[in-house]
Copies of this chain bind each other. A is one copy, B any other.
Amino acid sequence: MRSYTFFERFSRAFHDYPSLSKLIVVSTVSGGGLIAYSDANASTDDAHAVKPPEAGLKKKKVVVLGTGWAGTSFLRNLNHPSYDVQVISPRNYFAFTPLLPSVTCGTVEARSIVEPVRNIVRKKNVDVCFWEAECFKIDEENKKVYCRSNQNSNLNGKKEFAVDYDYLVIAMGARSNTFNTPGVEENCHFLKEVEDAQRIRRTVIDSFEKASLPNLTDEERKRMLHFVIVGGGPTGVEFAAELHDYVNEDLVNLYPAVKDSVKITLLEAADHILNMFDKRITTFAEDKFQRDGIDVKLGSMVVKVSDKDISTKVRGNGETSSIPYGMVVWSTGIGPHSIIKDFMKQVGQTNRRALATDEWLRVEGCDSIYALGDCATVNQRKVMEDIAAIFSKADKDNSGTLTVKEFEEVIKDICERYPQVELYLKNKKMSGIVDLLKEAKMDVAKESIELNIEEFKSALSEVDSQMKNLPATAQVAAQQGTYLAKCFNRMEECEKNPEGPLRFRGSGRHRFQPFRYRHLGQFAPLGGEQTAAQLPGDWISIGHSSQWLWYSIYASKQVSWRTRALVVSDWMRRFIFGRDSSRI
């Protein structure tokens, strides 16, 4: 029988009508001058004909492993009530991983980039259960996964349980790859999880506190304040930049006695840092780091890490050297989790860096198992593998030759099924498929081109060279999750009316369009309120304006209004008060 205060009623209103809070935060965000960003994929509210399942119809059990970008965007977009979803993950939250480098230095707080999974799935009309546990075995034959709670106390030995599935969605992400370099596992920090970022933050402060202690030699002090980053990819570069800003904007004021001993080194095995970016960005970043005093060592491979030294080999001349360090952050690449490795063996996929799926994200050889995100790789089918089937399918009159008219009838399906064809035409600046055929059959008027199978092969022989693996980014994972959820939402419908391309090696059509990645651009924050942006259409932007674009996009991409408000207020707090250096 308690009476409600104004604020209780106020907050209750927000709980009951969450959209109310948007009003407030929108005004906050726009008040902050952030640019609105239209999200090409944010169609979470798509009202895809959500009908209640027929009475008596048993719901299909969907098990989702993992709550990262792929798993969460799948869950957010799944809205057909005919599924009974169980989510299993060792973390009960989703983390906005692109802000992890900011968390390492307290530019953004860890709590501001996480959102409980239960909160994300709560308002849905789909039944979703969440278990905080780790999956340790996938039994494909019996359609079961085996899980184990990662809490080690007070469970009366009931840590393990099994869950049945009709569909399994594997979205467990990947782990950092040490390339079996000795000493890395024991002595280096990684930057994959929120806990990693928090640990790095504490270690940076610890290093400064240690170096400030009395009775140390200059040499020891310098060693303790030598921060080494291995890997010049976007994460490593962003962390180096964040650390440099943290040291120079905040820590030098609090630790004036040791500020001259600080050194940041970035080791990169290749010839340039940020080598997935445009050359202009790479050059700008390298120059900026040089001005900032960040020592970028290119062509430098790490061969061993001991508890105090890191040994490197110069790629050109094989010279090795050993540098004393205080902290190493290892950010070189990713590899599969051991359970994924086991599962790959089980399904006969050996010698791969990730689970291979078809273009519909189904694990090769497993009809009801899907894999998305960093743990998977889409195995794009080659045109040349199917060339005979394509030819015979296109050759409707079985004449043994293909006319332009016949070809034009299947070209849409070919381009859908084999996106490399379209890419090839675009890169060769060809206006259409006819140009391609023309190449094989010179000196003939367009209408009268006729190709036999050998000529057809030679026309398409170069096409597969355009195939590229998708990068292991949040963007790919999120798009895959959204794609798969939409397929699941329309499963019944598309079983009846398939909408995919022609099955060249079978009859009828595929149920769905295959997954297509749409690259929206990529950022590389370089510190000092400068960011490099490479947007679609090779649009390059470097500097303060891109930093503001970065702020607005990262704010708009947040998974909830709570995290959005927190991240924006963290940025403001940092501008006003700087970053905190309490060791908690």
- Interface residues of A, Cβ cutoff 8 Å to B: 1-2, 5, 7-8, 10-11, 14-15, 21, 24, 91-93, 106, 109-111, 114-116, 118-119, 122, 130-133, 149, 151, 153-156, 158, 161, 163, 194-195, 198, 205-206, 209-210, 212-216, 220, 224, 253-255, 291, 307-308, 326, 528-529, 544, 561-562, 565-566, 569, 573-578, 580-584
Contact A575 B10 (CB under 8 A): yes
Contact B92 A583 (CB under 8 A): yes
Contact B114 A580 (CB under 8 A): yes
Contact B561 A151 (CB under 8 A): no
Residues on B with beta carbons closer than 8 Å to the beta carbon of A215: 158, 161
Residues on B with beta carbons closer than 8 Å to the beta carbon of A158: 213, 215-216, 220
Nearest residue (CB) in B for A2 is B528
Given A210-B155, A576-B24, also A584-B198 (CB < 8 A): yes
Contact A578 B11 (CB under 8 A): yes
CA distance A414 to B200 in the complex (A): 58
| Copies assembled | 2
Contact B194 A118 (CB under 8 A): no
Residues on B with beta carbons closer than 8 Å to the beta carbon of A206: 151
CA distance A110 to B582 in the complex (A): 10
Contact A307 B582 (CB under 8 A): no
Which residue of the partner chain, among B111, B154, B583, contacts A326 with CB atoms under 8 Å? B154
Given A156-B220, A576-B21, also A583-B93 (CB < 8 A): yes
Residues on B with beta carbons closer than 8 Å to the beta carbon of A114: 580, 582, 584
Closest 6 CB pairs of A and B: A93-B582, A132-B209, A562-B577, A118-B254, A114-B582, A11-B575
Contact A93 B584 (CB under 8 A): yes
CA distance A495 to B267 in the complex (A): 61
Residues on B with beta carbons closer than 8 Å to the beta carbon of A580: 111, 114, 116, 562
Nearest residue (CB) in B for A159 is B213
Residues on B with beta carbons closer than 8 Å to the beta carbon of A253: 15, 122
Which residue of the partner chain, among B149, B308, B562, B573, contacts A573 with CB atoms under 8 Å? B562
Distance (whole angstroms) from the CB of A242 to the closest CB of chain B: 16
CA distance A155 to B24 in the complex (A): 50
Distance (whole angstroms) from the CB of A92 to the closest CB of chain B: 5
Distance (whole angstroms) from the CB of A16 to the closest CB of chain B: 11
Nearest residue (CB) in B for A153 is B307
Nearest residue (CB) in B for A220 is B156
Residues on B with beta carbons closer than 8 Å to the beta carbon of A21: 576-577
Contact A132 B212 (CB under 8 A): yes
Contact A254 B109 (CB under 8 A): no
Residues on B with beta carbons closer than 8 Å to the beta carbon of A154: 210, 224, 307-308, 326
CA distance A187 to B483 in the complex (A): 47
Distance (whole angstroms) from the CB of A323 to the closest CB of chain B: 14
Residues on B with beta carbons closer than 8 Å to the beta carbon of A131: 212-214
CA distance A60 to B566 in the complex (A): 46
CA distance A151 to B583 in the complex (A): 12
Nearest residue (CB) in B for A545 is B5
Residues on B with beta carbons closer than 8 Å to the beta carbon of A14: 576-577
Given A131-B213, A154-B308, A212-B130, also A573-B565 (CB < 8 A): yes
Which residue of the partner chain, among B106, B214, B291, B576, contacts A11 with CB atoms under 8 Å? B576
Residues on B with beta carbons closer than 8 Å to the beta carbon of A575: 7, 10-11
Residues on B with beta carbons closer than 8 Å to the beta carbon of A118: 254-255, 581
Residues on B with beta carbons closer than 8 Å to the beta carbon of A132: 209-210, 212-213, 583
Which residue of the partner chain, among B149, B209, B214, contacts A213 with CB atoms under 8 Å? B149
CA distance A572 to B561 in the complex (A): 14
Given A109-B111, A544-B5, A584-B198, also A161-B577 (CB < 8 A): no
Contact A210 B151 (CB under 8 A): yes
CA distance A106 to B116 in the complex (A): 13
Chosen A-B contacts, 22 in total, with CB atoms closer than 8 Å, are A5-B529, A11-B575, A11-B576, A91-B583, A106-B111, A111-B582, A114-B580, A115-B582, A116-B581, A118-B254, A132-B209, A132-B213, A132-B583, A151-B210, A154-B210, A154-B224, A156-B220, A158-B213, A158-B215, A158-B216, A194-B584, A198-B584
Residues on B with beta carbons closer than 8 Å to the beta carbon of A528: 2
Nearest residue (CB) in B for A582 is B93
CA distance A308 to B15 in the complex (A): 36
CA distance A381 to B308 in the complex (A): 57
CA distance A255 to B118 in the complex (A): 8
Find the residue from A163, A213, A220 having the highest chain B CB count within 10 A: A213
Contact A254 B565 (CB under 8 A): no
Residues on B with beta carbons closer than 8 Å to the beta carbon of A93: 582-584
Contact A7 B583 (CB under 8 A): no
